[in-house]
Amino acid sequence: MASEHLSLRISKETKAQLEKLAKATGRSTSFIAKDAIDRYLDLEAWQIMAVQEGLRDYENGNVVPLEDFEKEWGITHNDL
């Protein structure tokens, strides 16, 4: 996959953390930053997909009544 150049501003503290992690792992700061961005994007995409799937389930009536949930988990909504 071809790569693109990205420029951004980060705090001194974040830069220091990147440099510390890069040194500890033997990787470049660019590698660490790219890996962090990739992981963040993957997590956000997964969360959006999970919420959309949950909304579709709700719209299709695929839900668990609160009483059934409480019984199966041994809790009441007051415990939450």
Residue 48, pLDDT score: 98
Residue 32 lies in a domain: yes
Q: What domain count does the chain have? A: 1
Residue 1 lies in a domain: no
Residue 2 lies in a domain: no
42-79 confidence digits (pLDDT tens): 999 999 999 999 999 999 999 999 999 999 999 988 87
Question: Rounded mean pLDDT of 21-26?
Answer: 98
Residue 7 lies in a domain: no
Residue 74 lies in a domain: yes
Percent of the chain with pLDDT over 90: 90
Residue 68, pLDDT score: 94
Residue 77, pLDDT score: 82
Residue 60's φ and ψ, nearest 5 degrees, are -90, 5
Residue 5 lies in a domain: no
What span, in angstroms and rounded, lies between the C-alpha atoms of 26 and 29?
10
Domain that holds residue 16: 12-79
Residue 68 lies in a domain: yes
pTM summary value: 0.75
